[in-house]
Structure 1
Amino acid sequence: MSEIVNQIADATGIDPGLAEKALGMMLGFLEKEGDDAAVQKMIAAIPGAAELISEHAGDGGGGFLSGLAGGGIMGLGQQLMGAGLGMGEITALARQTIAVAKQYAGEETVDQVVASIPGLGQFI
């Protein structure tokens, strides 16, 4: 997973520690909000993704979005801004996360995940 985090950090100019945390949060969001079958296939294909989600996005019992009013894509944005990222960095990180997911899980699977989450397509 460190190779993936470094790839994303280099591409976005974000500190690797923050990139790791944000990646875990984004993958956790996809796991919570996306099409179950497609998301599970995607997470299984990305080395270390399940562990990263567990570390940074909670245990699946509500996770990091449980305390946010509204949750969803806006809740994720609020959480990432709270971690110190600006909108431009969040957009760059989202695009890189999707690009990496496509490298490992394939375009069709990742496109299915993105299409299953209302509003996500406009951010990537």
Structure 2
Amino acid sequence: MDELISRLVATVGVDRDAAEKAVGIIFQFLVKEGPPDKVKALFERLPGAEELMESQEGIDASGGGMFALGGIMGAGTKMMAAGLSMAQVQGVARETLAFAREQAGEDTVGEIVGAVPGLSQFI
């Protein structure tokens, strides 16, 4: 995961801590919203993904109001609560999924993106 985090710092312009939080949120979102078998296959090709996700599990933007959003909007809201701008949220999502495609292949990632309503329009 260090390669992905370094890439996000360099290309999106977020600091390392924000990058780790954002990737953890993205992985949490995929686990919750994606097809379990496809997400499992993805994580098998991304060493350290589950550990990174678990290390960020304390990030919770629930509690009512706009923070009670779920799905893709909830993930975006959590990343903005972690200090990312909307442009950075989109950049992190695009780069994370591009990295996932490089590591796990287009078929695996494409099936996950295709199975999550609305995800393709954000990446």
Relative to the length of structure 1, the TM-score reads 0.89
Task: Provide the residue aligned with 2:102 in structure 1.
Answer: 103
Q: Which amino acid aligns with 1:57?
A: E
Task: Provide the residue aligned with 1:10 in structure 2.
Answer: 10
1:15-26 pair list within 5 angstroms = 15-26=15-26
- Cα offset, 1:86, TM superposition: 0.8
| Count of aligned residue pairs for this structure pair | 120
Q: Structure 2 unaligned runs (5+)?
A: none
CA RMSD of aligned residues (A): 1.6
- Cα offset, 1:8, TM superposition: 1.9
Task: Provide the residue aligned with 1:41 in structure 2.
Answer: 41
> In 2, Cα distance between the equivalents of 1:33 and 1:65?
17
Change in Cα spacing, 1:117 to 1:54, as seen in structure 2 (3 Å) is: same
Following TM superposition, the consecutive aligned residue runs of length 4 or more in structure 1 with deviations greater than 4 angstroms are: 65-68
- Cα offset, 1:64, TM superposition: 3.7
- Cα offset, 1:3, TM superposition: 2.1
Task: Provide the residue aligned with 2:76 in structure 1.
Answer: 77
* Identity %, equivalent residues: 43
> In 1, Cα distance between the equivalents of 2:12 and 2:28?
20
Task: Provide the residue aligned with 2:119 in structure 1.
Answer: 120
